[in-house]
């Protein structure tokens, strides 16, 4: 009977180890989608910067085309005004035309300066876009490479999880239903179901075990539970202190 119950307790301890491993694997699997999204976010941020630079360049090009159209309009106005100067009859009209021509030339100068400014900025943005396109290619390649590694790691974890769950199922088949019921109840209550007893202390809740209970954990045929945390207790003989000389 003692040998059977020892095997039962051993199976419960191994079951707890399986459950802890399964929980760890599930936690690692749960991190992978978030890790992929972090990588995707970094890649998309670089791509967004490129798109913003392209939009800014497009806006400047539109403004430049409009400025060039306005400049052409002023040049045409100046040409017509210059032609009119040869047709006026009075000095007053002539002076008025000269004043208008001067105003138009000032506006022409403003448009020319703005066009030059836009040309310089466009060149700067074209260079920036060229660099950003390279950065996007690198970011995309890095994202795809890291995503593939994470997915491969995920598949590896899933395979390991399936194997452990299979082993757990086989182990469960050899555990008495009443022990499984106790194990499951405590697992829901505490998150884990077994605890080692060392030096008369339950390592699950750090509470002292009464001497008789401690003795029962070591020698009893029946699995023992902690009176405080309800965990199933086990004693590791390999941790037992060696006997002193003369004992």
- Distance CA(197)–CA(202), nearest Å, equals 5
Helix (H) or strand (E) holding 171, with range, is helix 91-172
Q: What is the pLDDT of residues 49-86, one digit of tens each?
A: 999 999 999 999 999 999 899 889 888 988 988 888 88
Q: What is the pLDDT of residues 4-40, one digit of tens each?
A: 444 788 899 999 999 999 999 999 999 999 999 999 9
Q: What is the pLDDT of residue 81?
A: 86
Burial of 231 (0-12, 13-18, 19+ CB in 10 A): buried
pLDDT over 70 percentage in the chain? 94
User: For the chain, what are the domain ranges?
Assistant: 24-172, 177-238
* Length of the chain measured in residues: 247
Helix (H) or strand (E) holding 202, with range, is strand 201-202
- State which fold the 24-172 domain adopts: Helix Hairpins (1.10.287)
Q: What is the pLDDT of residues 99-124, one digit of tens each?
A: 988 988 888 888 889 999 999 999 99
Q: What is the pLDDT of residues 128-153, one digit of tens each?
A: 999 999 999 999 999 999 999 999 99
Q: Is 86 helix (H, G, I), strand (E, B) or coil?
A: coil
- Distance CA(231)–CA(68), nearest Å, equals 84
Q: Is 83 helix (H, G, I), strand (E, B) or coil?
A: helix
pLDDT category of residue 1 using cuts at 50, 70 and 90: very low
Contact between 102 and 9 under an 8 Å Cβ cutoff? The reply is: no
Contact partners, residue 208, CB within 8 Å, separation at least 6 = 200, 201, 202
Query: Rounded to two decimals, what is the model's pTM?
Result: 0.68
- Distance CA(85)–CA(91), nearest Å, equals 10
């Amino acid at each position: 009977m003692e040998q059977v119950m020892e095997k039962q307790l051993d199976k419960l301890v191994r079951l707890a180890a399986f459950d802890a491993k399964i929980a760890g694997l599930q936690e690692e699997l749960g991190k992978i989608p978030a890790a992929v999204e972090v990588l995707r976010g970094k890649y998309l941020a670089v791509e967004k910067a490129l798109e913003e630079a392209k939009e800014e360049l497009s806006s400047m090009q539109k403004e430049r085309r409009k400025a060039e159209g306005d400049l052409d309009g002023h040049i045409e106005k100046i040409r017509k005004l210059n032609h009119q100067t040869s047709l006026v009859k009075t000095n007053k009209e002539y002076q008025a035309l000269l004043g208008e021509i001067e105003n138009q030339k000032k506006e022409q100068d403003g448009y020319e300066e703005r066009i030059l400014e836009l040309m310089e900025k466009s060149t700067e943005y074209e260079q920036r876009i060229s660099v950003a396109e390279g950065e996007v290619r690198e970011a995309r390649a890095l994202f795809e490479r890291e995503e593939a590694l994470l997915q491969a790691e995920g598949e590896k974890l899933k395979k390991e999880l399936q194997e452990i769950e299979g082993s757990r199922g086989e182990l469960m088949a050899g555990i008495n239903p009443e022990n499984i019921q106790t194990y499951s109840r405590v697992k829901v209550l505490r998150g884990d179901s077994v605890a080692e007893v060392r030096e008369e202390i339950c390592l699950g809740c750090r509470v002292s075990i009464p001497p008789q209970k401690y003795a029962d954990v070591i020698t009893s045929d029946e699995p023992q539970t902690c009176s405080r945390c309800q965990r199933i207790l086990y004693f590791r003989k390999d941790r037992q202190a060696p006997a002193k000389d003369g004992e």
